[in-house]
Chain A
């Protein structure tokens, strides 16, 4: 186990060294070497996980100095496997995708270094190692995103990403300094033990240390996972090569969820920070989804979709469902990576297709097919509201009957209900020969997906947090007064149900087609299309700083 822990970040690092030595040789040899090492890394990660499952006892591996400790606990094992898997797929895809690009060997070198850094981050057993890996990921991502050095846009947005990442590095460093000053250790397991023993330490300003550090960690996570208003870099990072987009959206951007899970024993003592995480996550999820809807570029739409998904991941953390956030980030990583790597194919198909939707009269008269129809809107509305509620409620009750007592679980079920209902609503909008049959198939699919997800999520929680007391205390820390909670849930439910009913009614009566949009709608549209002016504010601030710098230099004659 020790040797595997050591090999996890070392093998991709070795690959980077060999790729550098081979860089003057044939491209195929470079790619094959790098892919070979990435497969080896995946095998090591899988073996490490299997060995942990057979003997669940995490052992820190040290290099003999105060830092440089590696630590394979359940979180590190599962993250290492996910990262190694995604990295291997990206390596294989890049071998052909990047074949015509300049800097082929440099690209594989950077991919290997990035894989090594992420694996170092997930296996870090002390604060310094974590900071080193955290910092390196930002720098390497800059070089990967700006791989095409001739494109100005790629360079500009690579810089945006680096700056946001560096901004996110600072709170994590400050958190590490405060933790070291208070608890006199760099080792993470030892640190968490000492925090549990004495959580009520105060900082220089008299603030509670655990809450202050938890807030700093949350800020670092916000920057790294593109939470509002630190999100502007994410959609524009599409200017980088597609394999980098896949790696970033499938792995790197999830670092926020990882770091929150890593510091779970600390966040247990900072319920108010979890509430902030929930609020920021919710706002990001909503804004990311809204911005995704107005994009006409598939890659940018995927970028905003990732922003929304990251928001949901933080919502999960905010309600105390830490393990679910990890499950979410891995699932999201897999499907988003697939979407990115398939984006080129989708664009190719769209170019071949004429884009003309099938006409009802044509299909009825020429193709002699019955005209497609919809089911009655009242029936669809009732199924929309009731079916997901029943499916989610029953499946969770079967796995763990006491879930209703956890506020976090109720909120997640609430979101599950909204998502399920949204799926059924989308079905209503599809015209079909047999709408009732289509609805039945969709509800059946929902049952299978929800049941499968519930079982996997439950097992995942038991694996990641074998200490049930810690898992329960996270949920407890994230909870709010019951009366407030119930009022919020009631208001949200009412708003969503009324919204659905209004949309169904509007859709059944022809919608807003052909009518002039109101001034308010136009104002809202322009606000969204300018992406809430966040990037404009940053540009203005940047120009102001440059102006000050320039004036100072001129006054002091560059001395």
Chain B
């Protein structure tokens, strides 16, 4: 039972559908972002306090679940749904570290390194929806021509999400793989590749194009700086807590 509850919060398919259904019901981006951030931390707390015995097949299940959501990301055009499915894919990999018996901090940080960019993507749906009517890739392409600041923030957060160095996800995935056996490493590498593929498809749908149909004002300097500051702190923290310990 404890394991099932943990698999709900450190989402494994099909229990992961619960999180995505709840996300689709919440309208406020801040509440959605908070949910994406806190959800896996609850899972880690349950595992750490209850210490259930974890069968070996969980690792394979987690990899398959992460791969399943990664493949599904390829054809998602709605930014909020994309962020939710991405969180389901990435956070599932935390089970790989659980099986390696790492300490609580490492587990919490691993979940954070992937849930924070997902939360930032959800927050970005608001400024994009305000300007374009919906945060939907391909609806109005060419953000970089008319709203370069917003385009740059979206691209940077997406790069952070798909574990591009020097963002912490890169070091977190390396740390995970160093403790896995070869088939596990193969699995993680495949999932990582599909994330990149899906992310570029989504970013291209927003950022590139002639931008003739976009007339709204760009993201303010202050707003952009807040996102950059969060990402900068994220990079430094990643190097401090995960990258530096490799």
Within 8 A of A (CB), among B1-29: 17, 20-21, 24
Query: Contact between A67 and B246 (Cβ–Cβ < 8 Å)?
Result: yes
Q: Choose, from A142-150, A191-199, A388-396, the stretch at the interface.
A: A142-150
Per-residue 0/1 for B203-234: is the Cβ within 8 Å of any A Cβ (1 yes, 0 no)? 01001111100000000000000000000000
What residues on B are CB-neighbors of A155 within 8 Å?
204, 208
Q: Is A132 an interface residue (CB 8 A)?
A: yes
The smallest C-beta distance from A200 to any residue of chain B, in angstroms, reads 18
Q: Is A139 an interface residue (CB 8 A)?
A: yes
Measured CA separation A9–B203 after assembly (Å) = 29
Q: Is A509 an interface residue (CB 8 A)?
A: no
Measured CA separation A550–B85 after assembly (Å) = 14
Most buried by A among B186, B192, B200, B209: B200
Q: Is B129 an interface residue (CB 8 A)?
A: no
Measured CA separation A203–B204 after assembly (Å) = 40
Within 8 A of A (CB), among B152-195: 159, 164-166, 170-171, 174, 177-178, 180-182, 185-186, 189-190, 192-193
Within 8 A of B (CB), among A151-189: 152, 155, 159, 162-163, 166-167, 170, 173-174, 177-178, 180-181, 186
Query: Contact between A135 and B182 (Cβ–Cβ < 8 Å)?
Result: no
Measured CA separation A163–B72 after assembly (Å) = 18
Given A67-B246, A549-B74: A150 in contact with B185 (beta carbons within 8 A): no
What residues on B are CB-neighbors of A139 within 8 Å?
159, 164
What residues on A are CB-neighbors of B137 within 8 Å?
none
Query: Contact between A149 and B209 (Cβ–Cβ < 8 Å)?
Result: yes
Q: Is A270 an interface residue (CB 8 A)?
A: no
Q: Is B60 an interface residue (CB 8 A)?
A: no
Query: Contact between A204 and B208 (Cβ–Cβ < 8 Å)?
Result: no
Within 8 A of A (CB), among B82-119: 85
Q: Is A128 an interface residue (CB 8 A)?
A: yes
Query: Contact between A549 and B75 (Cβ–Cβ < 8 Å)?
Result: yes
Within 8 A of B (CB), among A90-127: 102-103
The smallest C-beta distance from B162 to any residue of chain A, in angstroms, reads 9
The smallest C-beta distance from B208 to any residue of chain A, in angstroms, reads 4
Query: Contact between A166 and B71 (Cβ–Cβ < 8 Å)?
Result: no
Q: Is A426 an interface residue (CB 8 A)?
A: no
Q: Is B126 an interface residue (CB 8 A)?
A: no
Q: Choose, from A272-280, A478-486, A551-559, the stretch at the interface.
A: A551-559
The smallest C-beta distance from A149 to any residue of chain B, in angstroms, reads 4
Query: Contact between B165 and A132 (Cβ–Cβ < 8 Å)?
Result: yes
The smallest C-beta distance from B189 to any residue of chain A, in angstroms, reads 4
What residues on A are CB-neighbors of B204 within 8 Å?
155, 159
Report the nearest A residue to B88, measured CB to CB: A559
Query: Contact between A167 and B76 (Cβ–Cβ < 8 Å)?
Result: no
Q: Is A491 an interface residue (CB 8 A)?
A: no
Given A135-B164, A548-B71, A553-B76: A204 in contact with B181 (beta carbons within 8 A): yes
Most buried by A among B181, B207, B246: B246
Query: Contact between A558 and B244 (Cβ–Cβ < 8 Å)?
Result: no
Report the nearest B residue to A66, measured CB to CB: B246
> Which of these, A135, A545, A558, contacts B81 with CB under 8 Å?
A558
Query: Contact between B142 and A149 (Cβ–Cβ < 8 Å)?
Result: yes
What residues on B are CB-neighbors of A149 within 8 Å?
142, 144-145, 207-209
Per-residue 0/1 for A535-549: is the Cβ within 8 Å of any B Cβ (1 yes, 0 no)? 000000000011011
> Which of these, A135, A166, A203, contacts B165 with CB under 8 Å?
A135
What residues on B are CB-neighbors of A546 within 8 Å?
74-75
Q: Is A131 an interface residue (CB 8 A)?
A: yes
> Which of these, B73, B166, B178, contacts A181 with CB under 8 Å?
B178
Q: Is B45 an interface residue (CB 8 A)?
A: no
Query: Contact between A170 and B189 (Cβ–Cβ < 8 Å)?
Result: yes
Query: Contact between A552 and B72 (Cβ–Cβ < 8 Å)?
Result: yes
Query: Contact between B76 and A558 (Cβ–Cβ < 8 Å)?
Result: yes
Q: Is A65 an interface residue (CB 8 A)?
A: yes
Query: Contact between A167 and B72 (Cβ–Cβ < 8 Å)?
Result: no
Q: Is B41 an interface residue (CB 8 A)?
A: no
Query: Contact between A205 and B246 (Cβ–Cβ < 8 Å)?
Result: no
Q: Is A380 an interface residue (CB 8 A)?
A: no
Q: Is A136 an interface residue (CB 8 A)?
A: yes
What residues on A are CB-neighbors of B166 within 8 Å?
132
The smallest C-beta distance from B78 to any residue of chain A, in angstroms, reads 8
Measured CA separation A180–B177 after assembly (Å) = 11
Query: Contact between A135 and B170 (Cβ–Cβ < 8 Å)?
Result: yes
Measured CA separation A192–B48 after assembly (Å) = 40
Given A65-B244, A155-B208, A166-B196: A177 in contact with B20 (beta carbons within 8 A): no
Report the nearest A residue to B23, measured CB to CB: A559
Query: Contact between A131 and B200 (Cβ–Cβ < 8 Å)?
Result: no
What residues on B are CB-neighbors of A67 within 8 Å?
243, 246
The smallest C-beta distance from A131 to any residue of chain B, in angstroms, reads 7
Report the nearest A residue to B164, measured CB to CB: A139
Report the nearest B residue to A65, measured CB to CB: B244
What residues on A are CB-neighbors of B78 within 8 Å?
558
The smallest C-beta distance from A529 to any residue of chain B, in angstroms, reads 29
The smallest C-beta distance from A29 to any residue of chain B, in angstroms, reads 19
Given A177-B177, A180-B178, A204-B182: A559 in contact with B20 (beta carbons within 8 A): yes
Q: Is B197 an interface residue (CB 8 A)?
A: yes
What residues on A are CB-neighbors of B182 within 8 Å?
174, 178, 203-205
Within 8 A of B (CB), among A207-240: none
Measured CA separation A545–B197 after assembly (Å) = 12
Measured CA separation A103–B142 after assembly (Å) = 13
The smallest C-beta distance from B226 to any residue of chain A, in angstroms, reads 18
Within 8 A of B (CB), among A39-70: 65-67
What residues on B are CB-neighbors of A132 within 8 Å?
165-166, 170
The smallest C-beta distance from B23 to any residue of chain A, in angstroms, reads 9
5 residue pairs from A and B, CB less than 8 Å apart:
A149-B144, A548-B71, A549-B71, A549-B73, A553-B72
Extra pairs beyond A132-B165, A149-B207, A180-B178 (8, CB < 8 Å) = A131-B174, A150-B208, A150-B209, A170-B193, A173-B177, A174-B189, A205-B182, A556-B72
Counting from the closest, the 10 A-B pairs by CB-CB distance are A559-B20, A132-B165, A170-B189, A549-B75, A549-B74, A149-B208, A559-B17, A550-B75, A65-B244, A204-B182
